[in-house]
Amino acid sequence: MRRRPKSISLSVVGLSAILGGIVLPAYAQAPAPGGQVGSGDVLTGQVRQHTAIPAEDLLSQGKYSDAEDLFRQLLVANPQDTNASVGLGLALAKQFKLDAADDLFDRVLTADPNNALAHAGKATVTLNRLQSSSGSIRSQRDSLLKYAEDESRRACQLAPASAEAHYTLGAVLREEGKTDEAASEFKTAISFDGKNSQAFSGLGRITLEKGSIGEAMEYFRRAIELNSGNSTAHFGLGSALLQQGQIDDAIKELNIALYQFPNSAPVHLAMGDAYQRQGNEAAALKEYQAAATIKPELPDPYLKMADIRENRGDLELALADLRSGLAQIPYNIDLRMRIADNLLKLEKSDDAIKNYKVILGMSPNNPQAVKGLSQALYIKAQKTAAGALLASNDYDSALKTLDEAMKLNPDDMELRLAQAKLMSLSGGKLDLSKIGDPTSDGQRIAYAEALMAQGEFQKASAVVADVITRMNDPKQTFAVADLALMINDLDNAEVAYRKAQSLSGTPERVQRGLDAVAKQRKIAIDDVKVGDELINKRQYDGAIERYRDAIGTNPKLADARFGLARTLEKKQKPTFNDLRDAAQQYLLYVALKPDLPEKDKQKLLSTADKLSEKADKLAQKK
């Protein structure tokens, strides 16, 4: 779902009724019988003071503070001047002095319930209140929008030829997501007043969202031509230029928008995107942090900051940013998903499992959460006794969730591969050839992991190596390297990090990845050494734990597989799960040692068969 910016200038979200060139008073009262009101008609039946014109001009130019001063002077001279009261109310509303503006509009409507622009002003105040980060305001969003729509429609009924009324209605409709109706209202406003800068920028925003970049840029340029102080138009033009890859020109326009309206979260976000595309990550982070400060309830700043941290390999910092966002938006699934995924990368499987379960409670059968949960359970099983996991509610629940998700997403190959991985824990083996051939790199990585789970290490390695060979972008190569590291395919992870380096990847990022690979190799080898010492001392439980830790860190370490199998077999009273696991570990050891002498290979295969038979007998007795 496309997210619309929630705060840009005073109107990008349809929040202002900036006149942008309208010849006031377009804040019109109802037309007199027999006549129709245009944007330049005298609406009160009285001769308008010439001193009102400068105030109106300032308002149309976006100089709200100066307009406020002049309108106040008019009211001092004539406290009954309805037009000046409405003009002052609009000037205050543009400056977000909402209570004072609301009071003025109420006073006008008390004296004249049919004052069209006072109704439009009420709609503007209501929309501007929605800019607040207050939870109570946000909780009333739907009802407030309904009220604003009612007020702006009332304004259009009272003054059907008022450009301002139609612009305000268009702004409300756009905020409600009714973009086609909003575009129609903006066009109507322009037909009544061809100098309505804000109507042009509103139309540009809608056009840009629909993908017509060239047409949108024309609308934005026209809006700027009419009113160079229209920060909405500068933001829109900057966004369009950014989409076209004209980064320097985009930054220029966005800077103008920020100068005119510094507290715009969407403009800071767009500026952050521009800097990130330039490779200036420090500046991008600063802009994203500014956006989060202004609108802490928006998820995008936190997700974008996490992107930068993750690309640097700083997963703990990424988690900190994401958790800051979750504190503000506890029900946001995107933030929770990224937190769970990063916990998984850090091999904090228990924490990841908890988060995926929360997501599935919020969004049942969410395919990404189902895959993540399956991955977390598989990683956990590599470091604990598989039998214990199989007997847990987590395992059964995951399989049931997978079944339900696959019914809803029958063509999702990664769900079927996740099922294959979980089935491998119980000794089951899904025929991967029946699933079909992976068609994307994400599917290929998942396919490789399913192959690893079934002990087909060489084939799995070839699949990942093929993905790496076709990489020609450092960022994509880093992503593949990180995925290989996450599934503990250390050989291919090392190859991918070195390839990223050859593609002009960040040296620090490459070294961090290579250091992580080297560290995991050493940890696994050290665990095997300790396990060997413990088994010699007949401390079998301690040895088993060490060998499992080694396998979890480096699944391709053959010595860890052999050590675990031997220890499980030697236990004084092995359970059927122990014997079955020992048999599987011997088979995996053989798969990892293709150069093993045939005599030794057959001996180990025979031992595995005997252990399996013994396990089956124990299971039957139980």
Cis, peptide link before residue 262, omega less than 30° from 0: no
* Residue 420, SS3 per DSSP: helix
Question: How crowded is residue 350: how many other Cβ atoms within 10 Å of its Cβ?
Answer: 10
Please, are residues 235 and 229 in contact by the beta-carbon 8 Å criterion? no
Residue 18 has pLDDT above 50, yes or no: no
- Both tokens of residue 28? 């019109």
Residue 243 has pLDDT above 90, yes or no: yes
Bridge partners, 115 (sequence order): 29
Residue 34 has pLDDT above 70, yes or no: no
Identify the pLDDT of residue 482.
Answer: 86
Give the relative orientation of helices 367-383 and 441-453 as an angle to the nearest 10 degrees: 30
Please, are residues 209 and 177 in contact by the beta-carbon 8 Å criterion? no
Q: Which of 387-396, 515-524, 591-600 has the lowest mean pLDDT?
A: 387-396
209: CB partners within 8 A, 6+ apart: 2, 4, 179
CA distance 369 to 338: 10
Identify the pLDDT of residue 53.
Answer: 75
Please, are residues 454 and 424 in contact by the beta-carbon 8 Å criterion? yes
* Residue 115, SS3 per DSSP: strand
Q: What is the DSSP letter of 12?
A: T
Whether this model's pTM surpasses 0.75:
no
Q: Which of 15-24, 93-102, 263-272, 487-496 has the lowest mean pLDDT?
A: 15-24
Give 298-354 pLDDT, tens digit per residue: 999 999 999 999 888 889 999 999 999 999 999 999 999 999 999 988 888 889 989
When pLDDT is cut at 50, 70 and 90, the band that residue 476 belongs to is confident
CA distance 74 to 53: 11
Side-chain-side CA neighbours of 58 within 13 Å: the count stands at 20
Please, are residues 418 and 435 in contact by the beta-carbon 8 Å criterion? no
By C-alpha distance, which of 280, 325, 206 is closest to 271?
280
Identify the pLDDT of residue 316.
Answer: 93
Q: Check residues 12 and 310 and name the one with the higher pLDDT.
A: 310
Identify the pLDDT of residue 239.
Answer: 96
Please, are residues 376 and 344 in contact by the beta-carbon 8 Å criterion? yes
Going along the chain from its start, the domains and CATH numbers come out as 13-32+39-191 (1.25.40.10), 196-261 (1.25.40.10), 331-402+424-436 (1.25.40), 521-621 (1.25.40.10)
Q: Check residues 23 and 359 and name the one with the higher pLDDT.
A: 359
Q: Which of 333-347, 405-419, 471-485 has the lowest mean pLDDT?
A: 405-419
Give the relative orientation of helices 441-453 and 413-425 as an angle to the nearest 10 degrees: 10
State which amino acid sits at residue 45.
G
Distances (CA, A) of 66 to 54, 70, 72, 88: 10, 7, 10, 11
Identify the pLDDT of residue 212.
Answer: 95
Taking the CA atoms of 347, 349, 355 and 356 in sequence, report the sign of the dihedral they define.
Answer: positive
Question: How crowded is residue 513: how many other Cβ atoms within 10 Å of its Cβ?
Answer: 24
CA 507 distance to own-chain centroid: 28
Residue 396 has pLDDT above 90, yes or no: no
When pLDDT is cut at 50, 70 and 90, the band that residue 148 belongs to is very high
CA distance 135 to 149: 22
- Both tokens of residue 244? 């076209």
Give 487-496 pLDDT, tens digit per residue: 788 999 999 9
Question: How crowded is residue 78: how many other Cβ atoms within 10 Å of its Cβ?
Answer: 13
Longest pairwise C-alpha distance within the chain: 111
Give 573-600 pLDDT, tens digit per residue: 888 888 888 998 999 999 999 899 999 9
CA distance 45 to 43: 6
By C-alpha distance, which of 70, 51, 49, 48 is closest to 59?
70
Q: What's 439-485 look like in SS3?
A: CCHHHHHHHHHHHHHCCCHHHHHHHHHHHHHCCCCHHHHHHHHHHHH
- Both tokens of residue 166? 């139609």
Residue 364 has pLDDT above 70, yes or no: yes
Give the relative orientation of helices 82-94 and 64-77 as an angle to the nearest 10 degrees: 160
